[in-house]
């Protein structure tokens, strides 16, 4: 339990029935984010560099730690990579400050003033303190590094604890999806423009708000000039902005014309479009193009009768009924019954209408995506475990061959050593690696779908 609390997977609070008893609960989102740690590290390395990546990796491994402790262990890691050359920790302190300034790491709540009087302590933190980095004594850290110490010991900020801010990474991952969507629908230059506008929106808006604060045309153009953007973007800025605004995906809205035009992002609208695109892709893969036609048509028309669906979709009645039943069975379509009353003696006439309850369909698909992701992870682990000895043998052989090539050993001797592993085993290893790569790709795609669907549900719930 202590380990899970240390790694921000479990939280506790006093029971409502008895204040002297602690109740523990799982933080489901943080548990799921464990599989996103490689994405976190890649993202930080791409944005900042290696030092910040090491800092984040150390903090992820420790769960919660002080700034001095993270800097000390990161410096030790970098010293090992540099063949024992002692690194100045002040540079790492600046990197830590950058991560906090951009909200990628956040301070943990501290004990409340009256916590010592309670059997179950309460934790609190002021908003202004969440990302404030305390003064760190660099000299003691540098001295411990020179002494080759493995632990820092007591230090000035030992009671100020930090953790990774998963919500900030969610925002960045969402932005990556939106930038990729802009680049895919237009081109890479449009993606560059959209990334810059997203940064402007992030600086002026609450990331949890369903819509961003509008940014004017002039502000966007000034930011492009200051950012040393590509000459193509500067030359065709008006054209790219208009294309993104007019695109059916709703990547940019224009709520006003002041200052050359006001532009904002309606998260609920754009993620509804992305969620619909994901659902369309799933229906196409599972049931085919005719089922997709029925699903899209019903979603666009809101409510449709069976005869109307098959006539408008131009699908034979037998096939239309079969695909409608399949979509209904797998919860992609829902039924609404309307009764039309006549006279007191005549029977009641009812109409069966098909419709798409998008939030319900998204929740069902989200559950299936979780299961698919878990199945891919279990299958990958099973294949690697079952063939562990063969994979280790192949890795050892490859390492030996590389070392011999570096030593200038004749090719015939290298070939003779390579032949010690039978072709059947080499073929099996290649097959296992290919399957593992495909499963990894499937997990990445499933995680992206999950992020889109979760974001849609999150933003529509804020509108209700």
Q: pLDDT digits over 366-406, tens only?
A: 999 999 999 999 999 999 999 999 998 888 988 888 888 88
Count of CB atoms situated within 10 Å of the CB of 26: 11
Phi, psi torsion values for 41, nearest 5 degrees: -65, -45
Determine contact, residues 181/274, Cβ cutoff 8 Å. Answer: yes
Pairwise CA distance, residues 269 & 304, whole Å: 23
pLDDT at 364: 95
pLDDT attached to residue 173:
94
DSSP 413-428: HHHHHHTTS-HHHHHH
Contact (Cβ atoms closer than 8 angstroms) between residue 185 and residue 247: yes
- The mean pLDDT value of the chain amounts to 88
Lowest-confidence pick of 78-92, 197-211, 390-404: 78-92
- E strand or H helix at 124: strand 123-124
| Topology, domain 169-265 | Arc Repressor Mutant, subunit A (1.10.10)
Q: Scan for tokens 């081109």, then name that residue.
A: 187
- Longest Cα–Cα distance of the chain, Å, equals 100
The pLDDT, as a whole number, for residue 85 is 64
What CA–CA distance (Å, rounded) separates 37 from 426? 32
pLDDT at residue 175, rounded to an integer:
92
pLDDT score recorded for residue 86: 62
- By percentage, how much of the chain surpasses pLDDT 90? 45
Tell me what pLDDT residue 223 has. 86
| Per-residue exposure over 134-149, b if at least 16 CB sit within 10 Å of its own CB, e if not | eebebebbbebbeeee
Give, in words, the CATH class of 27-164: mainly alpha
Q: Which helix (H) or strand (E) holds 195?
A: helix 188-204
Percentage of the chain surpassing pLDDT 70? 95
* Cα three-residue angle 249-250-253, rounded to 5 degrees: 165
| Statement: residue 213 has pLDDT above 60 | yes
137 contacts: CB under 8 Å, gap ≥ 6: 68, 155, 156
Average pLDDT over residues 227-255: 84
- The mean per-residue pLDDT over the stretch 238-258 comes to 86
Strands (E), 44-87: 65-66
* Most trustworthy range by pLDDT among 89-93, 203-207, 220-224, 271-275: 271-275
Average pLDDT on 129-149 reads: 85
Q: By mean pLDDT, which of 140-154, 338-352, 446-460 is the weakest?
A: 338-352
Q: Is residue 464 pLDDT above 60, yes or no?
A: no
In this predicted structure, what is the pLDDT of residue 94?
92
**Quick one: average pLDDT of 240-266?**
85
Domain 169-265 in the same topology as domain 27-164: yes
* Per-residue pLDDT tens over the stretch 277-319: 999 999 999 999 999 999 999 999 988 888 888 888 888 889 9
Band (95; pLDDT cuts 50, 70, 90): very high
Q: 321-359, pLDDT tens digit by residue?
A: 999 999 999 999 999 888 776 556 556 677 888 999 999
Residues 145, 348: Cα–Cα separation, whole Å: 85
- Spans of all domains in the chain: 27-164, 169-265, 295-356, 362-463
The dihedral built from the CA positions of residue 101, 268, 239 and 262, taken in this order, carries a sign that is negative
Per-residue model confidence (pLDDT) at position 341:
61
Summarize the confidence of residues 34-54 as an average pLDDT: 93
Question: Pick the residue with more confidence: 463 or 255?
Answer: 255
Whole-number Å distance between alpha carbons of 279 and 287: 12
């Amino acid at each position: 339990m202590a380990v899970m609390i240390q790694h921000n997977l479990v939280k506790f609070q006093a029971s409502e029935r008895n204040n002297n008893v602690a109740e523990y609960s799982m933080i489901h989102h943080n548990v799921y984010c464990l599989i996103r740690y490689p994405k976190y590290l890649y993202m930080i390395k791409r944005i900042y560099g290696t030092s910040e990546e090491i800092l984040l990796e150390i903090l992820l491994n420790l769960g919660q730690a002080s700034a001095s402790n993270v800097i000390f262990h990161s410096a030790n890691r970098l010293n090992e990579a540099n063949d024992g050359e002692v690194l100045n920790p002040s540079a790492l302190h600046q990197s830590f400050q950058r991560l906090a300034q951009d909200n990628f790491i956040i301070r943990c709540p501290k004990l409340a003033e009256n916590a010592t009087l309670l059997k179950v302590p309460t934790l609190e933190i002021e908003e202004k303190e969440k990302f404030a980095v305390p003064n760190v004594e660099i000299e003691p850290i540098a001295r411990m590094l020179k002494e080759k110490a493995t632990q820092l010991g007591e230090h000035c900020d030992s009671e100020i604890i930090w953790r990774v801010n998963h919500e900030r990474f969610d925002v960045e991952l969402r932005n990556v999806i939106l930038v990729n969507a802009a680049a895919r629908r237009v081109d890479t230059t449009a993606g560059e423009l959209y990334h810059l506008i997203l940064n402007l929106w992030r600086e002026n808006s609450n990331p949890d708000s369903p819509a961003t604060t509008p940014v004017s045309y002039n502000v966007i153009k000034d930011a492009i000039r200051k950012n040393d953007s590509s000459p193509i973007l500067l030359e065709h800025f008006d054209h790219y902005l208009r294309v993104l605004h007019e695109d059916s995906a709703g990547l940019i809205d224009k709520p006003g014309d002041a200052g050359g035009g006001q532009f904002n992002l309606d998260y609920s609208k754009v993620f509804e479009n992305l969620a619909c695109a994901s659902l369309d892709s799933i229906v196409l893969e599972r049931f085919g193009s005719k089922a997709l036609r029925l699903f899209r048509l019903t979603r666009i028309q809101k409510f449709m009768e069976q005869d109307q669906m098959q006539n408008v979709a131009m699908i034979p009645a037998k096939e239309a009924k079969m695909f409608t039943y399949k979509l209904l069975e797998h919860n992609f379509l829902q039924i609404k019954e309307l009764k039309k009353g006549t006279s007191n003696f005549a029977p009641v006439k009812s109409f069966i209408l098909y419709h798409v309850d998008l939030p319900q369909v998204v929740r069902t698909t989200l559950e299936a995506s979780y299961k698919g992701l878990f199945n891919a992870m279990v299958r990958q682990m099973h294949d690697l475990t079952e063939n562990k000895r063969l994979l280790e043998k192949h890795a050892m052989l490859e390492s030996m061959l590389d070392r011999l090539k570096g030593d200038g050993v004749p090719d015939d001797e290298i070939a003779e050593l390579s032949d010690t592993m039978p072709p059947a085993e080499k073929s099996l290893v290649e097959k296992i690696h290919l399957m593992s790569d495909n499963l990894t790709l499937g997990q990445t795609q499933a995680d992206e779908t999950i992020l889109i669907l979760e974001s849609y549900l999150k933003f529509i719930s804020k509108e209700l």
